[in-house]
């Protein structure tokens, strides 16, 4: 909001700006500033009304119309002090005379204001002159515009009238030469200097500077700064809203900040506990199914002589809590399952040789499923290198085809790994949140330590997947570059062919021209 100053000088500046002939619409900053000056008592209502009357009397119709807008605003917002200055015989005669001198637009605004004031003050005997003026003009044949009740609402908060008492309202000390009388701007009562030594702003009255208030009013006005609940008298809201059921319902729903935080923490702890219980219940239902699948040996693996003992890695063994692992994670960490799967996918040397011989003779490279009957290669050797050790020269030609047909790790395995890792991370995060809510140290939580060790073991495999994807991306980018080079070479070759064809077309003409000469 613009700053026009204080007192009469500020009012005059705001009035001049609000009634400027260049304005095409009301200047609400100036209007609100004028209303605040009158409500706070910095200028008298009589001085303000006299200044507005001078602006209405101007010959410029735009200035007069803006002055009428300011007059309407102060009557609606500044309370009985302005009402008493407007609802008198001299002012109503002034308005009646101006309605005869002004143009149609200004005249319509004057008639609208008189009609609204007559409707608003119809039950107040002190302002009977307004109703009489309205009835008189109506009887003389003046046509008033259609009345809207919303335009005739004058409910507003204004400072109370000062009450002149002989003693302090709080301590009952008599006023005299040594004890001066002071008035509280919030309640209007008389107080001594000790009981009214504080100052505060009063937003509901439009008083935005520090004014003298009593101790009781100061406590009420500053309750909101300490986080206390605001009462109906302090809220500064319209009385219609304060009396509505919606406002009363909102009062019953207010809670302190501590209660809301405590309730949120309780809900979070309950949600985490419920999720953990559901996860454990789901694991118990599915554990037997997965364990039966893992314990069942595949076809061809029943002979103990065909199995190879794989060296177990040395190092400290980490005890994993099965209750905290999902079925996908348990299956991924089941070493026996993956050893049996690798034995299933490894072809025997004799069978591979026998199958590659007819494949070479018939020029067919389609892979044929075989039943493994030989020990699997070591984990440190690639699959195709193990096959090359047991196959002859003829089978070497088809070994790459069989390697492509049986990939080392399929997309389903990678997806299963990612699901297991994602589930472990979710359980890990939930457990950490539960410890944080309960104020428990994660160092003493064995479940958190176990999950951390599990994720740490899975991290190298995740890095290998990322590296493989990066290698594939680089490979496809190189292929794309080669395709671009081939496209450029093809364009260059096409242009050379066109030039050569043009030369061959021109060369036969030269001997003919020489012969003709």
Residues 43 and 144 in one domain: yes
pLDDT score at 513: 61
Question: pLDDT by residue (tens digit) across 16-49?
Answer: 888 988 888 888 888 888 888 887 778 888 999 9
pLDDT score at 121: 84
Range with the poorest average pLDDT among 223-237, 241-255, 304-318, 440-454: 304-318
Range with the poorest average pLDDT among 123-132, 239-248, 417-426: 239-248
Provide φ and ψ at 190, rounded to 5°.
-95, 135
Give the count of beta carbons closer than 10 Å to the beta carbon of residue 402: 22
Domain boundary among 230, 260, 276: 230
What is residue 56's DSSP assignment? Answer: H
Domain boundary among 172, 197, 230: 230
* Domains identified in the chain, total number: 3
Residues 139 and 171 in one domain: no
Nearest Cα neighbor of 328 from 271, 412, 407, 409 is 412
Give, in degrees to the nearest 5, the angle at Cα 366 between 361 and 371. 100
Residues 130 and 27 in one domain: yes
pLDDT band at residue 353 using 50, 70 and 90 as cut-offs: very low
- Whether the per-residue pLDDT at 483 is higher than 90: the answer is yes
What is residue 230's DSSP assignment? Answer: P
CATH number at residue 168: 3.30.40.10
C-alpha to C-alpha distances, 110 to 64, 102, 104, 383, nearest whole angstrom: 10, 9, 10, 100
Tell me whether residue 68 is in a domain: yes
Residues 213 and 196 in one domain: yes
Kindly give the pairing relationship between strand 198-202 and strand 182-183. unpaired
Range with the poorest average pLDDT among 23-32, 164-173, 338-347: 338-347
Residues 91 and 52 in one domain: yes
Residue 313 CB partners (closer than 8 Å, separation 6+): none
Spatial contact of 467 and 306, defined as CB atoms under 8 Å apart: no
Tell me whether residue 263 is in a domain: no
Give the count of beta carbons closer than 10 Å to the beta carbon of residue 221: 18
Residues 22 and 146 in one domain: yes
- Whether the per-residue pLDDT at 50 is higher than 70: the answer is yes
Residues 91 and 192 in one domain: no
- Whether the per-residue pLDDT at 476 is higher than 90: the answer is yes
- Whether the per-residue pLDDT at 470 is higher than 80: the answer is yes
Tell me whether residue 480 is in a domain: yes
Domain that holds residue 479: 413-487
Give, in degrees to the nearest 5, the angle at Cα 238 between 237 and 244. 100
- Whether the per-residue pLDDT at 117 is higher than 80: the answer is yes
Nearest Cα neighbor of 75 from 158, 144, 132, 9 is 158
Q: How far apart are CA 276 and CA 333, in angstroms?
A: 21
Range with the poorest average pLDDT among 29-33, 390-394, 433-437: 390-394
pLDDT score at 82: 87
pLDDT score at 484: 92
Tell me whether residue 188 is in a domain: yes
Residues 105 and 51 in one domain: yes
Spatial contact of 275 and 433, defined as CB atoms under 8 Å apart: no
Kindly give the pairing relationship between strand 182-183 and strand 190-191. antiparallel
Residues 177 and 53 in one domain: no
Tell me whether residue 395 is in a domain: no
pLDDT score at 256: 60
The helix-helix angle for 61-77 and 45-56 (nearest 10°) equals: 160
Cβ density class 241-252: b for 16+ within 10 Å, e for less: eeeeeeeeeeee
Bridge-partner residues for 93, per DSSP?
A: none
Mean predicted lDDT score pLDDT of the chain: 73
pLDDT score at 399: 41
Bridge-partner residues for 200, per DSSP?
A: 211
pLDDT score at 505: 86
CATH number at residue 437: 1.20.5.1940
Question: pLDDT by residue (tens digit) across 202-236?
Answer: 877 767 678 888 988 888 888 754 444 444 444 45
Range with the poorest average pLDDT among 143-147, 149-153, 272-276: 149-153
Mean pLDDT value across residues 190-208:
82
Question: pLDDT by residue (tens digit) across 261-316?
Answer: 777 777 777 777 777 777 777 777 766 655 555 555 444 444 444 444 444 444 44
Strand residues in 203-329 grouped as ranges (E): 207-213
Tell me whether residue 378 is in a domain: no
Q: How far apart are CA 103 and CA 93, in angstroms?
A: 18
Question: pLDDT by residue (tens digit) across 71-98?
Answer: 988 888 888 888 888 888 899 999 888 8
What is residue 444's DSSP assignment? Answer: G
CATH number at residue 12: 1.25.40.90
Residues 93 and 163 in one domain: no
Spatial contact of 213 and 196, defined as CB atoms under 8 Å apart: yes
Tell me whether residue 272 is in a domain: no
Tell me whether residue 359 is in a domain: no
Residues 115 and 163 in one domain: no
Mean pLDDT value across residues 442-458:
85
Residues 15 and 86 in one domain: yes
Strand, coil or helix: what is 212? Answer: strand
Domain boundary among 187, 205, 230: 230
Question: What percent of the residues of the chain are helix, what percent strand, and what percent coil, each to the nearest 5?
Answer: 65, 5, 35
HSE-up (13 A, CA, CB side) for residue 84 = 7
Return the structure tokens found at 169: 């309202």
Provide φ and ψ at 509, rounded to 5°.
-75, -35
Give the count of beta carbons closer than 10 Å to the beta carbon of residue 181: 17
pLDDT score at 282: 75
Highest mean pLDDT among 314-323, 366-375, 379-388, 423-432: 423-432
């Amino acid at each position: 909001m613009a700053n026009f100053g204080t007192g009469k000088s500020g009012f005059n500046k705001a009035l001049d700006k609000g009634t400027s002939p260049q304005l095409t619409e009301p200047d609400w900053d100036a209007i609100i500033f004028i209303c605040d000056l009158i409500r706070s008592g910095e200028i008298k209502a009589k001085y303000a009304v006299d200044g507005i009357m001078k602006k209405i009397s101007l010959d410029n119709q735009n200035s007069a119309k803006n002055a009428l807008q300011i007059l309407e605003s102060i009557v609606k917002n500044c309370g009985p002090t302005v009402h008493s200055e407007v609802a008198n015989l001299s002012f109503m005669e002034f308005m009646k005379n101006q309605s005869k001198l002004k143009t149609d637009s200004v005249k319509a605004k004057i008639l609208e204001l008189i009609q609204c004031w007559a409707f608003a003050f119809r039950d107040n005997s002190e302002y009977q002159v307004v109703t009489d003026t309205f009835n008189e003009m109506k009887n003389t044949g003046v046509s008033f515009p259609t009345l809207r009740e919303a335009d005739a609402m004058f409910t507003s908060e204004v400072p109370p009238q000062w009450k002149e008492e002989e003693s302090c309202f709080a301590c009952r000390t008599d006023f005299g030469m040594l004890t001066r009388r002071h008035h509280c701007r919030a309640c209007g009562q008389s107080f001594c200097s000790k009981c009214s030594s504080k100052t505060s702003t009063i937003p509901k009255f439009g008083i935005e500077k520090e004014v003298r208030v009593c101790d009781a009013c100061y406590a009420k006005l500053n309750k909101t700064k300490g986080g206390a609940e605001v009462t109906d008298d302090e809220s500064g809201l319209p009385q219609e809203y304060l009396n509505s059921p919606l406002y009363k319902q909102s009062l019953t729903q207010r809670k302190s900040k501590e209660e809301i935080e405590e309730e949120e923490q309780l809900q979070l702890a309950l949600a985490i506990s419920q999720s953990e219980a559901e996860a454990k219940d789901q694991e118990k239902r599915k554990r037997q199914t997965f364990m039966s699948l893992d314990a069942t040996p595949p076809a061809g693996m029943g002979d103990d002589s065909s199995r190879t003992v794989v060296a177990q890695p040395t190092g400290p063994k980490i005890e994993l809590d099965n209750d905290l692992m999902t079925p996908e994670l348990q299956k991924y960490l089941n070493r026996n399952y993956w050893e049996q799967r690798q034995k299933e996918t490894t072809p025997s040397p004799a069978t591979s040789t026998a199958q590659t011989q007819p494949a070479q003779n018939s020029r067919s490279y389609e892979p044929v499923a075989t039943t493994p009957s030989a020990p699997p290669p070591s984990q440190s050797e690639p699959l195709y290198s193990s096959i090359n050790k047991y196959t002859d020269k003829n089978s070497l030609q088809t070994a790459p085809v069989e390697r492509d047909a049986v990939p080392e790790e399929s997309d389903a395995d990678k997806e299963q790994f990612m699901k297991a890792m994602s589930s472990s991370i979710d359980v890990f995060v939930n457990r950490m949140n539960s410890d944080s809510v309960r104020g428990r140290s994660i160092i003493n939580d064995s479940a958190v330590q176990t999950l951390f060790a599990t994720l740490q073991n899975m991290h190298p495999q995740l890095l290998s997947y990322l590296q493989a994807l990066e290698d594939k991306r680089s490979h496809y980018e190189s292929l794309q570059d080669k395709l671009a080079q081939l496209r450029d070479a093809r364009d260059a070759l096409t242009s050379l062919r066109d030039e050569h064809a043009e030369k061959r077309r021109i060369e036969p003409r030269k001997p003919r021209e020489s012969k003709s000469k």
